Amino acid sequence: MLPLEISSSIDSELMEMLESGIGSGGGTVLHATFDDSGGKQDGAFIYAGFVAPKAYWDRFNGAWDDALAVYHLNYLHTSEFLQTIPIIGRESRTDDDAYVILEPFINTIQRHLVWGEGYAVVGATTADAWSNLTREEKRFVRQPALDSFESAVGLACRSLASSLSRANPLAIQVDEGGDIAVMAGAYRKLKMFPEYRESLGGICFVDDTKLRSIQAADMLAHLALRQWRKNKLAEPLDDRFRRLIVDNPLRGSEHILIHDADALRILARVRMAGQ
């Protein structure tokens, strides 16, 4: 057995290597964080979040704490927080109210993630999409709540295809508030597909009151649901929502994937043909 001081030194060096990407082919450690919104009552299930190198998340965390301090918050849960802000003359919060109240958080995401090397991804699946498929087609695609998760993760992998590899895979973080066993199963099934097998490194389930990146994903999912209610996430998108999902003003690309019954049917047939 190694002496304690030598063992501790090796553990420290190993952790430094894992966190910095050293020893993984010289790649950048990429973390993706997702949360969900919507449901059958909304007509769509949504999974949304952000992907960025670890260095960007480190800077983001401090800035997010500054945004929380504006409202004297320990953490942000968007839908609950918006209900605590009194609006004179009406009970419900409009989209305009939401964007004004959330401005410090939106600015933080824009400046520290999406204007750098960060990406926003949104996966949405219509609530009735799966029920309209044949029994055979249903064997090859997931029900809407899980398909939206697969869409968001798959979109992240495709957006970062040039950066991901077996030596430098994507690390995924998801809110622990859902059914962990179901989500872990969905992740394992997704990893069975050849196009994602080498890109995905692992998934962990985290406390959204502690992890700031999950709070950002929660806010994005909340605002994506508002956009869905407004125009089904179709163009033209609200400019304030676009500020969160355009990964860089110079690139101008958006990462939104919507699955209705037709899109799910096409996906099912592609997978059927490739089995």
Those residues with Cβ within 8 angstroms of residue 97's Cβ, 6 or more apart along the chain or in another chain: 82, 85, 87
User: Is residue 219 over pLDDT 80?
Assistant: yes
Query: Which residue is it, tokens 């309209």?
Result: 132
Place of tokens 């973390």: 31
pLDDT digits (tens, 9 = 90+) for 58-89: 999 999 999 999 999 999 999 999 999 887 76
Q: Residue 255: its pLDDT value, please?
A: 87
| CA–CA separation, 111 and 103 (whole Å) | 12
The contacts of residue 158 (CB under 8 Å, 6+ apart) are none
Model confidence at 22, pLDDT cuts 50, 70, 90, reads very low
pLDDT over 60 at 104, yes or no: yes
C-alpha 259/C-alpha 149 separation (Å) is 11
Residue with tokens 């690139």: 251
Q: Distance between CA 14 and CA 220 in Å, rounded?
A: 34
Mean pLDDT for the chain overall: 85
The answer on pLDDT for 163 being more than 60 is yes
Phi/psi for 210 (5° steps) reads -110, -35
The sign one gets for the Cα dihedral 274, 254, 36, 232 is negative
Instruction: Tell me whether strands 44-53 and 30-39 are parallel, antiparallel or unpaired.
Output: antiparallel
73 Cβ neighbours under 8 A, 6+ residues apart: 81
Q: Are 155 and 255 in contact (CB under 8 A)?
A: yes
* 250 pLDDT tier (thresholds 50, 70, 90): low
Q: Determine the Cα–Cα distance for residues 144 and 142; give it in Å rounded to an integer.
A: 6
Number of neighbouring beta carbons within 10 Å of residue 53: 17
Mean pLDDT for 98-119 is: 93
Cα torsion through 247, 199, 223, 177, rounded to 10 = -150
> Do 225 and 256 form a contact (C-beta atoms < 8 A)?
no
Residue type, 145: A
Q: How far is CA 231 from the centre of its chain?
A: 21
pLDDT for residue 93: 80
Q: What is the pLDDT of residue 127?
A: 95
pLDDT beyond 60 at 6 = no
* pTM for the structure as a whole: 0.87
Domain ranges of the chain: 34-273
3-state SS, residue 200: strand
Q: Could you tell me if 203 and 174 are in contact, meaning their C-beta atoms sit under 8 angstroms apart?
A: yes
